[in-house]
Amino acid sequence: MEIKQLTEQIVTLLESKKGKQIKVLNMEGITALADYFILVNAGNKKHSQALADEVTKLLTDNNIELLRENGYREGTWILQDFGSIIVHIFVPEERTYYDLDTMWGDAKIEQQISGDQ
C-alpha cells in the first residue's frame, strides 16, 4: 500500500475514534525525517494512548513497523515514528504549547479536519 493511502487510512481511523483537529502535512522537501506528519488532538491522556494503540495496530497490520514511540506513558504528546509517516497525538494544551502547526508552517497541508478541540 502506498504511503499516501496509509495516511488517509490513519486519518479515517483517528476521526472514527474521536480525534480532533486532524492535520496531515506533506513534509517532502522540508525535512528528511518523514514524508508525512499527522497531527491530532485527543480529549485526555487515556484517549491519546488509545489513539496511539489504534494507529499502531492499523500500521502493523499493514506490515509497517513502529520504529520509535515517545511520550506514551505521559500521554500528553505521543510521537510515533513509522519511517515515512510520523504521528503526533496531543492533548490540546501540549499542541498549543509546542505549536508544530506553526513550526512546520512551510509544509503543504494535505488534509485538515477540524473539530471542537
pLDDT per residue as tens digits for the range 8-61:
999 999 999 999 999 999 999 999 999 999 999 999 999 999 999 999 999 999
Pick the CATH number of 3-113 from 3.40.50.300, 3.40.640.10, 3.30.365.10, 3.30.460.10: 3.30.460.10
For the chain, helix (H) and strand (E) counts, in that order, are 4, 6
pLDDT exceeds 70 at position 117: no
Cell numbers linked to 68? 520509535
pLDDT, position 116: 61
Query: What's the one-letter identity of residue 107?
Result: A
Question: At CA 87, angle to CA 105 and CA 25, rounded to 5?
Answer: 30
pLDDT band at 114 (very low <50, low <70, confident <90, very high): confident
Averaged pLDDT of the chain: 94
pLDDT, position 111: 86
Bridge partners, 69 (sequence order):
80
Would you kindly state where each structural domain of the chain is located, as residue ranges?
3-113
Query: What's the one-letter identity of residue 16?
Result: S
By CB neighbour count within 10 A (0-12 exposed, 13-18 middle, 19+ buried), where does 57 fall? Answer: exposed
The pLDDT > 90 percentage for the chain reads 85
Distance CA 105, CA 117 (A): 20
pLDDT, position 24: 97
